[in-house]
Amino acid sequence: MPYDLNQPPSPQHRPSRHASRARGGALLAVAALAAVTLSGCGGSSGPGAAPVPGEPETTGATASAAPSGSATAGDSGTAGQPGTPGTPSDAKPSTPGRGPLAGKVVVIDPGHNPGNFRHAREINRLVDIGTNRKECDTTGTATNDGYTEAAFTLDVSHRLRTLLEKQGATVRFTQDDDRPFGPCVDERARIGNEAAADAVVSIHADGSGSGNRGFHVIHPALVERGAADTTRIVGPSRELAERIAGKFVRATGSAPSNYVGGGTGLDERGDLGGLNLSTVPKVFIECGNMRDTKDAALLTSSQWRQKAAQGIAEGIGSYLLG
């Protein structure tokens, strides 16, 4: 995910007690697991970044991000596969169950469709994001060994859905590799809005320069322009981001990004259509930098992806239950 370093921070973008706990949790995790490699996430315009495919909502189709079934060593799962079959995005939401999240609706947005790379013309089409017009979508990035962001996001999303449904939540996907490409960023926002979701989480992994590591959660800035009006969701989305960041640290042992967010694990943005057009609380999470070899070793591990899903699920649950 790219970052506009020239964009001034919003007045709302300041560390909170939740962010402080996230930083503290990360330090404790590092101290307790000194020999463990930390995971990360980031933005392609960060320090030392290299031009790579897969910047969500800013670059067009990139053939180099074509799906691959390869996986790095140490993964007991199949990294190149999207995971177990899931509910199609155009199907009815999952049946609510019993549990603490019964009655809550969560929309999961797996970043990028595995078929996007076959539809360059379609995903390069410009759509209105309120502040301006941007590409419908992008291909997503990939590790140096060819494990795609699209495969990663679907796998984590499937795991996340299972965890949330066990707690009784109603879960809907924006896409589940059940359509040729897309949806476009404006449609992704619309799916969450029409579902009257209590929370929407867009799952991503970054494509930044080697050495850039650490996760971060992106939440919407205050935007009132054209079709975009985030006035009512800025506060709730920030709270959702803080809850997810804190739980992600604990579940994965990962540290906040070392190149975005100033160590808070949070990043406020006003240039993403998926956030600008949302009328319900929504965040993006960049789980790691696929172009860094240490992060890639984590992202391609099925065990780590389960931890990532657990952290996100706990963050969503904490937010929804107050």
Active site residues: 286
What proportions of the chain, in percent to the nearest 5, are helix, strand and coil?
35, 15, 50
Gap between the Cα atoms of 183 and 113, Å rounded: 8
Residue 42 carries which DSSP code? Answer: -
Nearest to 105 by CA among 154, 164, 59: 164
Say what angle helices 302-321 and 234-252 make with each other, to 10 degrees. Answer: 140
Angle at 249 between CA 247 and CA 254, to 5 degrees: 150
Q: Which amino acid is at 294?
A: K
Bridge partners, residue 107, by sequence:
172, 200
Q: How many Cα atoms sit within 13 Å of 271 on the Cβ side?
A: 16
Q: Which two tokens stand for residue 95?
A: 């049946």
Q: How many Cα atoms sit within 13 Å of 102 on the Cβ side?
A: 4
Gap between the Cα atoms of 139 and 117, Å rounded: 5
Cβ–Cβ under 8 Å, residues 77 and 302: yes
Gap between the Cα atoms of 82 and 255, Å rounded: 26
Residue identified by tokens 């996907």 is 173
Gap between the Cα atoms of 236 and 219, Å rounded: 10
User: What's the burial of 8, exposed, middle or buried (CB within 10 Å: 0-12/13-18/19+)?
Assistant: exposed
